[in-house]
Homo-oligomer: A and B are copies of this chain.
């Protein structure tokens, strides 16, 4: 029932029993809270003088890992930008994930996958399964088919010491037409409640849970208005939108309030634009991290 395992670097979690929440907390205490997106957009590749090809992707990805891995809590490769190059692009992502594991950098595959039953099980095995060439430390998931449809990934993450981040409340204006629907019992609120319930069902020792949420850093007061009690999540919150989309300390405070200690502010383009020089790239990440500390 397992995918065939090609010769690949061992994954950090293969030899570890620590939960994703514990591993994240350890990384956080040493490296701060900033998550950096690895987004090899065509325009960024061009700005770095790289071709829009699998070779360009690989040089870009490994350069970001080297420069930013040591100063960020996690790296978040955007899967769409690898998939855009087909199977050869995905092979580059496999290389990046293996190298990151070797370097001790946590990875969050931003794949936004979602399906049901045995199909969801297949996505779970792809992104969270021991020995899978695409396995990351965590993966982002999409709950349109119901939070509970994600069960195979929730369970596999828990058993392999990995994590998931479920889309809840995003800052793009179109997201409201789904996420805000339902008033006091909004879709976004029900997702947040379900995630908190999942994390509460841990060992009772206050151990951080493995089920995170994706909540945009520029949502303003939407979480409060919709009654999302994010401070009780007991899991990590991935908050894209820092930098290029305008979020800084003030926006993060407004969006998250008492849940701020759970937040991983996430920045991509504002940092990546400082490349390709590795020292400038690292300095940009450190500056952002320190500004948000």
Contact = CB atoms under 8 A, between A and B. Distances in A.
Interface of A: 1-4, 6, 39, 41-42, 51-54, 78, 80-81, 83-91, 93-94, 112-120, 122-123, 125-126, 132-134, 142-149, 167, 170, 172-179, 181-182, 185-187, 190
Given A86-B94, A89-B3, A178 B115 contact: no
Contacts of A181: 181-182, 185-187, 190
B86 A134 contact: yes
Contact of A149 (B93, B123, B149, B174): B174
A122 B52 contact: no
Nearest to A144: B144
B146 A175 contact: yes
Contact of A116 (B119, B170, B185, B186): B170
B182 A123 contact: no
A144 B178 contact: yes
| Identical subunits present | 2
* 9 A-B pairs with the lowest CB-CB distances in the bound complex, closest first: A146-B174, A86-B133, A87-B91, A87-B90, A148-B174, A80-B122, A4-B53, A181-B182, A144-B144
Contacts of A54: 4
Contacts of A94: 86-87
Nearest to A135: B86
A57 B218 CA distance: 43
B3 A145 contact: no
Given A118-B41, A176-B146, A3 B85 contact: yes
Tell which of A133, A148, A182 has the most Cβ of chain B within 10 Å. A182
A51 B123 CA distance: 19
A94 B177 CA distance: 34
B80 A179 contact: no
Contacts of A113: 80, 112
A85 B4 contact: yes
A116 B167 CA distance: 12
A66 to B, nearest CB: 22
B52 A119 contact: no
A74 B236 CA distance: 42
A76 to B, nearest CB: 12
B83 A126 contact: yes
A104 to B, nearest CB: 22
Contacts of A182: 181-182
A116 B148 CA distance: 24
A115 B80 contact: yes
Contacts of A123: 80, 83-84
